Amino acid sequence: MEVFDGECSMMRDNNLLSKFNIDDIPPMPHGQQQIDVCFDINANGILNVSALETSTGKENKITIIYDKGHLSQEEIERMVQEVEKYKAEDDVNKSRVESKNGLENCCYSLKSSIKGVETAEKEESEEKKKALKAIEMPILQNMASGGGGMPDMGMGGMPDMGGVPPMDDPAGGPTIVEID
């Protein structure tokens, strides 16, 4: 766990106060691990942070006394002005991160649903693979061309295949560009 101080939406733009770990947490499938974090600030400005992993009951706590290196009023005002100045950029970054997380969750959900195919017959698996390739191709082409979004979806939830080269034409396939 990392504890930050600041108003910016991006963690990297805030001040790191402290770090601590919860050890010996067993591996779990994506989205099933839950950690409850509690922040408590007392009248003296002492911050108590606790984190509890709910499935195992493992917990760790830390107390942060924010006395040395305390920000002056001028520094606080400067930081608030910077937050207001870069709010639009922060909103764009937040939207981008939320969109990426949504895509990753969608991909994970799709991957999880494929696990049931392990017992399917070869023909059934090949049909499902072909259907996925038909959906995958326009998405990858759109991403490679800089569109970044989902393709126009036609009837039945399948992407509009207009203008997409045949799948057996390797020279006309998508160009994949690595993006950070």
Q: Which two tokens stand for residue 167?
A: 């799948």
Which residues are within 8 A (CB) of 51 and not within 5 positions of it... i.e. 6 or more apart? 1, 20, 22, 35, 36, 37, 38, 59, 60, 61
Residue 139's domain comprises 122-180
**pTM score of the predicted model:** 0.49
Does 131 lie in the same domain as 172? yes
Where a domain ends, among 67, 84, 101? 84
Domain count across the chain: 3
Does 11 lie in the same domain as 72? yes
pLDDT (tens digit, 9 = 90+) per residue, 49-100? 999 988 888 999 999 886 656 667 888 788 888 888 888 888 888 888 898 8
Does 97 lie in the same domain as 146? no
Where a domain ends, among 84, 100, 131? 84
